[in-house]
Amino acid sequence: MQPASPGRTIAARLALAVTTIGAVALFAAPSAMAQAGGAPGAVYSMTNNQLANTITEFDRSGDGTLSNPRSFPTGGQGTGTPEDSANGLILANVSGESSPINTKAPAKLLLATNGGSNTISVFRVRPDGLVLTDVQDAMGSRPISVTVNRGVAYVLNAGAPQCSMNPEIEGFTISAQGELTPIPGSSRPLSGGNLSGCTQVSFDKTGKVLIVDEQQADIISTYTRNADGTVNGPTPRQSTGNGPFGFTFTQRNQLITTENFGATPGQGAAASYAIDERTGALAPLSPSVRNLQSDTCWVVITDDNKLAFTSSFGDDGGLSTYRVEPDGNLVLLRAQAATTGSGSSDLTLSNDSRFLYAKNSLEGTVTAYRVEDDGDLVELQKVQDGGLLGSIGLAGK
């Protein structure tokens, strides 16, 4: 294995990027640009506030625009800084996540990581808003990512910024009422140890394999699940390119991961892998496909498996579009389908994949886009999400 590429972390780039941020105006495109007739839903954005972490819930109309923001305290504290993390906020039910795995069952729960107070919050999702059901000790320090499948949740505890102090994963059972219970003996280390640079934990679509991206170590770690909810592993796989960060799955259970290449300008990329559901072994499907953007970190895929969108934190926050072939190969369609400004981070799709939402962690904004069949993105609106510099986490339905 080659030495880990040091890169620059998101937090390290905050001081530079903040000097370029001005006031963000609320913007809504003319109504003629929006398509009516879609089912309404909601979008949730986490503030990561270090004094009191909160979730901002927006109503999503059938034309994709957001309105009526409401704030719900998590009962915990954020870290107040842009974390190197993906899936710090997820919609879920006891059978699985709505994002990034795109399960068809309605999302009845929302899980949030509180990195400043070392806890996980669970909300019930109701038509009239969120109801806090549990605030559970993460059984470790600095939780940054969480996942759910078949009644089991796992959290990724970074330990310290960049996962530099005994990072590990911890397992919990989760009830339909939204209560978490620690699973004895579920704690497992990461392959990269204190050089991991861990970013995301997620079950694959089957729930049999648990995956962690470790950007500083250039490793993707896999774990196989036991009947009691514990996992075996880690089994390390050197990533195709440098800096595996965020990831998602096709409906065929192929893994698609971003690669930030140490935030080297213009070197952002994505790659894909086949997953052996029995052993957890990964086999490359697509080589690194660069998108000419800087610090590519987050990715989502439409439910029809045809389009994947990535978000790049650096430069002007480019969003890129890839075509996903049935065999898992990736083809770049739009190097820069849209821009949100430096600090572009978490992505989420509406449950019909007609609308894409992009968070900017430095501005504290969410931008709404209409997804065109050819991979173009049409900006509809930009709204403030109540977060300050360092907000993370986005989920939609």
Kindly state the average pLDDT of the residues 135-149: 97
The alpha carbon of 333 is separated from its chain's Cα centroid by a whole number of angstroms, namely 22
User: pLDDT tens across 9-30, in order?
Assistant: 554 444 444 433 333 333 333 3
Could you tell me if residue 320 is inside a domain?
Answer: yes
Torsion 33-345-318-386 (CA) sign: positive
Q: Is residue 2 in some structural domain?
A: no
| pLDDT, position 377 | 98
Query: What does pLDDT average to over the chain?
Result: 90
pLDDT tens digit string along 82-117? 889 999 999 999 999 886 666 667 899 999 999 999
**Which pLDDT score is estimated for 102?**
64
Percent of the chain with pLDDT over 70: 89
**H helix runs in the chain, sequence order:** 10-18
Per residue in 232-290, pLDDT tens?
Answer: 999 999 999 999 999 999 999 999 999 999 999 999 999 999 999 999 999 999 999 99
CA distance 258 to 245: 6
- Assess if residue 306 is contained within a domain: yes
Give me the half-sphere count of Cα atoms (radius 13 Å) on the Cβ side of residue 279: 8
- The neighbouring-strand residues paired with 189 are 168
Q: How many structural domains compose the chain? A: 1
Q: What are 97's strand-pairing partners?
A: 92
The residue assigned the tokens 């600095």 is 142
pLDDT, tens only, 335-382 = 999 999 999 999 999 989 999 999 999 999 999 999 999 999 999 999
Query: DSSP labels for 128-179?
Result: TEEEEEEEEE-SSS-EEEEEEETTEEEEEE-SSGGG-S--EEEEEEE-TTS-
Distance CA 89, CA 67 (A): 20
Q: Range of 252's domain?
A: 10-396
CB 363 within 8 A of CB 341: yes
Cβ atoms < 10 Å from Cβ of 206: 15
Cβ within 8 Å of residue 109, ≥6 positions away: 91, 92, 93, 94, 122, 123, 124, 125, 133, 148, 174, 178
Q: Domain holding 220: CATH number?
A: 2.130.10.10
Label each residue of 4-65 as H, E or C. Answer: CCCCCCHHHHHHHHHCCCCCCCCEECCHHHCCCCCCCEEEEEECCCCCCCEEEEEEECCCCC
First to last CA, the chain: 40
**Residue 249: inside a domain:** yes
283 occurs within a structural domain? yes
Whether the pTM exceeds 0.85: the reply is yes
Can you give the length of the chain in residues?
397
| CA–CA distances in Å: residue 348 to residues 21, 129, 310 | 23, 19, 10
Domain-located, residue 5: no
Q: 191-243 pLDDT, tens per residue?
A: 999 999 999 999 999 999 999 999 999 999 999 999 999 999 999 999 999 99
Domain-located, residue 4? no
Q: Quick check: is 338 in a domain?
A: yes
